[in-house]
Amino acid sequence: MKTPTYSRRSALKYLGGTAGLMALPSFGFSSPTTSLIEDSTTGMLKSAAGDFIPCLNMATIMGHNLGFVKELETASKGGFRAVEIWIPTLQKYLDGGGTIKEAAKIIKDLGISVENTIGFAQWIVDDEATRNKGLEQLKKEMDMLAQLGCKRIAAPPSGATAEAGLDLYKAAERYRTILEMGDQSGVVPQLEIWGHSKNLHKLSQALFVATESGHASACINLDIFHLYKGGSSYDTLKMANPLDVQVLHVNDYTDIPRDVIKDGDRIYPGEGLAPTKKILQAFQSPKRPLILSLEVFNKEYWAQDALEVCKTGLAKVKAITQGL
């Protein structure tokens, strides 16, 4: 079977370019042999070392072309009480006549929360005109998300991926700029690494930029796939403070070499070679729940029923937390 080659870029092309947690019945995933229980009120997975919030990143069902509202409905029916939306999908909904107020009501009525958002504003690039346009875009997005009750947005190195040489000191200054924008909106931009980028592809780089920003709200959005793709060491994950990693994109990978593996090669967490338990243990904390956002771009999953993908994905997310 041909290996899927979908990526975030191809997903955006596919799209046409263009709150608190509610009640969740227990699914019976607790076991007398582990410390894990599922909170019957919030749906959080609780363990002795720290809590986890299962979350659906909409990339997982993006290929079903459901649209913004149907994606939310499917995630809710599939058992997720938390989701991570994509700005292009939200914008397509708004361009089609929907409103932020209506979207907020739909989210509330479904009993779910938007815990994070993926955006692609080019806030980090060297070209000043492009960067200023990116800052305007990001401000608009933050304002919309605040009305949806979402308090986070991923801030990847969009536009600074093809050529190496980005000055990380300047990147830190630019990250501080968007953190200060977040102070005004209440939406925190989380610095995200992309394994395929020529810049900001390793945890060490993200730690430098976040630390050098000098802002109290600086934090990092990590992804199991991107940690592998970018060549970050699993043995030094402990260098990142768990409190500064609020969202972890969970997925897995096979033995495809990191220099050729693509976004579309991701599989369900726990089904591949990633040291998932080690990664979760590095970032779980008794002081803050860790949001486990299921993000895969697998074309084979997109060919399956979207509701079944959600149900399977939720079970896989819960399974990787067993025994922690």
Instruction: Name beta bridge partners: 114.
Output: 83
What is the percent of the chain with per-residue pLDDT over 90, rounded to a whole number? 84
State residue 16's pLDDT score.
42
| Mean pLDDT on 204-216 | 98
State residue 49's pLDDT score.
75
pLDDT, tens only, 87-110: 999 999 999 999 999 999 999 999
Please tell me whether residue 38 adopts helix, strand or coil conformation: strand
Tokens 């029923």 correspond to 305
State residue 24's pLDDT score.
34
User: 10-19, 48-57, 186-195: which has the minimum mean pLDDT?
Assistant: 10-19
Residue 207: C-alpha distances to residues 72, 124, 157, 264 (Å): 33, 16, 14, 27
Do 260 and 5 form a contact (C-beta atoms < 8 A)?
no
What is the C-alpha separation between 61 and 304, in angstroms, rounded?
9
Q: Pick 262 or 34 by higher pLDDT.
A: 262
26-31 contacts, C-beta under 8 A, 24 or more apart: 27/79, 27/318, 29/318, 29/322, 31/322
Q: What is the dihedral of CA 114, 190, 88, 194, to 10 degrees?
A: -130
- Flag whether pLDDT at 150 surpasses 50: yes
What is the C-alpha separation between 65 and 305, in angstroms, rounded?
12
What is the C-alpha separation between 294 and 316, in angstroms, rounded?
9
State residue 47's pLDDT score.
74
| Mean pLDDT on 28-34 | 32
pTM of the model: 0.89
What is the C-alpha separation between 54 and 318, in angstroms, rounded?
7
| Mean pLDDT on 134-147 | 98
- Flag whether pLDDT at 7 surpasses 90: no
State residue 42's pLDDT score.
57
Q: Predicted confidence band at 270 (pLDDT cuts at 50, 70, 90)?
A: very high
- Flag whether pLDDT at 255 surpasses 80: yes
The helix (H) or strand (E) run that includes residue 116 is strand 113-118
Calculate ∠ Cα 210-216-219, nearest 5°. Answer: 40
- Flag whether pLDDT at 15 surpasses 90: no
Q: Pick 79 or 50 by higher pLDDT.
A: 79
pLDDT, tens only, 161-171: 999 999 999 99
